[in-house]
Chains A and B, each alone.
Chain A
Amino acid sequence: GAVVSQHPSRVICKSGTSVKIECRSLDFQATTMFWYRQFPKQSLMLMATSNEGSKATYEQGVEKDKFLINHASLTLSTLTVTSAHPEDSSFYICSASVDRRNQPQHFGDGTRLSIL
């Protein structure tokens, strides 16, 4: 089956640090990757849609300068949380899809980010 690898799984760092999260499709080419954020006991909220070779599309209320997304290849998208602060602490999860209507998205295992 299709596998999406997300790394790191857990990050603890000081306020002001920038953190990069990688999302890789291991055995398929992902034309589109999605980044979601999940607060404790809440649902997944879409942050942005990332298409290979083009700028990401951010959802309303998501700061594009705070959450930098790069999708440089068909197998890799990165999310960089710049100058992270405690309120950025959350669970971030990516998913990847191929450009075929009947194919489901495949999720990474998520990254738990804690900013001290």
Chain B
Amino acid sequence: AQTVTQSQPEMSVQEAETVTLSCTYDTSESDYYLFWYKQPPSRQMILVIRQEAYKQQNATENRFSVNFQKAAKSFSLKISDSQLGDAAMYFCAYTVGGNTPLVFGKGTRLSVIA
């Protein structure tokens, strides 16, 4: 079974600094999709960034980028120029796509210090 592991229950970062959230996963599939979701106190699930396993290039969305290491099954999220609004729970998730469910990690709570 696929599993997703987030080893950092909590992280903090100073405003304007950079922080990296870790995620590892286990799968026997060669083609799959990885995601980072942000869940603020409102509990909405907001898609931050996604990566397709067959793409070697790391995904980037403005201040958010990933370091995807397929062989190591690692998928970390880097947030640059951290802002107060980045404070939230961040979940790493995996799926083989289409009509298959997401498998979530346990989450990392990110605090941003002014």
A contact set with B: CB distance below 8 Å: 31-32, 34, 38, 42-44, 46, 49, 51, 91, 93, 95, 97-105, 107, 109-110, 112
The contact of B99 among A91, A97, A102, by CB within 8 Å, is A97
Q: Which of B11-19, B44-52, B56-64 contacts A (4 or more CB under 8 A)?
A: B44-52
Contacts of A31 in B (CB 8 A): 99
**B33 close to A44 (CB less than 8 A):** no
Q: Is B101 an interface residue (CB 8 A)?
A: yes
Contacts of B50 in A (CB 8 A): 104
Tell me the chain B residues, 14-32 only, with Cβ under 8 Å from chain A: 31
Hey, what's the 0/1 contact readout for B91-108 against A, CB within 8 Å counting as 1? 100011111011111110
**A93 close to B106 (CB less than 8 A):** no
The contact of A110 among B43, B47, B91, by CB within 8 Å, is B43
- Interface residues of B, count at CB 8 A: 23
**B43 close to A49 (CB less than 8 A):** no
Q: In the complex, what's the smallest C-beta–C-beta distance from A76 to chain B, in angstroms?
A: 17
Number of interchain pairs (Cβ within 8 Å) = 60
**B52 close to A102 (CB less than 8 A):** yes
Count chain A CB atoms within 10 A of each CB in B33, B50, B95, B97 and give the residue with the most.
Answer: B97
Q: In the complex, what's the smallest C-beta–C-beta distance from B4 to chain A, in angstroms?
A: 9
**B44 close to A101 (CB less than 8 A):** no
The contact of B107 among A43, A102, A109, by CB within 8 Å, is A43
Contact A43:B44 (CB < 8 A) given known A51-B99, A97-B99, A103-B98: no
**A32 close to B99 (CB less than 8 A):** yes
Contact A97:B107 (CB < 8 A) given known A102-B52, A104-B50: no
* Cα–Cα, bound, A102→B47 (Å): 14
* Cα–Cα, bound, A100→B98 (Å): 5
